[in-house]
Amino acid sequence: MSILEPSALAHVPFVSVENMMRLVNDVGVEAFIGELAEYIENDFKRWPEFDKIARVASHSRDGVIELMPVADADYYGFKYVNGHPNNVRDGYQTVTAFGVFSSVATGYPLLLTEMTMLTALRTAATSALVGRYLAPAGADTMALIGNGAQCEFQALAFRTICGIETVRLYDIDPAATAKAAENLKAVGFNVTACETAEAAVEGAQIITTCTADKQYATILTDNMVGAGIHINAIGGDCPGKTELQRDILLRSDIFVEFPPQTRVEGEIQQLDEDHSVTELWQVMRGEVGGRTSDAQITLFDSVGFAIEDFSALRFLLEKTADTDYCVKLDLLADPDDPRDLFGMLRRAAPEAA
């Protein structure tokens, strides 16, 4: 992308929640996820080009607020995101987010966008993309344990990328399962609502765990996981929160995004620091293997990493350029003389009476 005149960059494109939903519906949810997954895969394949750090987290009694930054030679992206499990009881979202995508050359932001909806889409796209490398051949059934805001996006992504047609649902809140079942039946899935997690995993080749509570929990026990299963563990995403019994980890080949972050926040915080894991970018580049046998248990210990958000922001910037899906915000001061910011303020003052 060429560098624009400063005056053109001062008004920053903004994608609102309303326009994000309009864009996704116009493109089609599954088509949007499929295109987004391609951007994520392409960025993972150039992993060494990125300047990477683990996300910066501020923990409190009620939840966490995080900043997730990453950059390559041309662009810098970050996401602001929170995780507050008790929000639902008060009518708030557990997770909300917004993001910024900027030019490295000027430091000027090129895009400001909502990312609550976009994060759900990129998380689902990443999960299913990884599933394409790790899930058993011919998989058609997935268990979804935790039927909150992520549930339907995960199902749609796995249908788009991995061919899943049947979902088995369980949540400790029957209302969440009923909500998910209604939504997924409406878009053509074969749906079974289950009364226990044990029932949900019966006959499933892929198990997705996605719960919200910020605590050590045992959502999936060792006896529930048979040979050949792929586990998509996306709920463990902060220190002190896990979903899988430790014995499952010891039987699985574990795949992660960014080890310095996952060892602190993921399921592998239960394991010794030197426990072997495989980085996904190496699998996608063909440097190491993914699923290598029918009996292998594969585990995607997903905590979400900033490169996935970078990919989503890059995709959205290109998708919305010169369209009415974004509006221009008067976000940056633009004095005629870059050195005369005070003069800009003075000239904007009402004339003296």
Active site residues: 237
Which residue do the tokens 């049947």 mark? 166
SS3 string of 206-233?
EEEECCCCCCEEEEECHHHCCCCCEEEE
- Token code pair at residue 238: 């902060």
- Contacts of residue 242, defined as CB under 8 A and 6 or more positions apart, other chains included, come to 216, 217, 236, 266, 267, 269, 270
> CB 178: neighbour CB atoms within 10 A?
14
Pairing of strands 64-71, 51-52: antiparallel
CA distances from 219 to 12, 55, 287, 318 (A): 43, 25, 33, 39
DSSP-derived secondary structure for 61-84: SS-EEEEEEEE-SSEEEEEEEEE-
Which residue do the tokens 């001061």 mark? 333
Rounded distance between C-alpha atoms, residue 96 and residue 73, angstroms: 28
Residue type present at position 11: H
Query: Which of 203, 206, 205, 201 has the alpha carbon at shortest distance from 219?
Result: 201
Helix (H, G, I), strand (E, B) or coil at 279: strand
CA 84 to the chain's CA centroid: 16
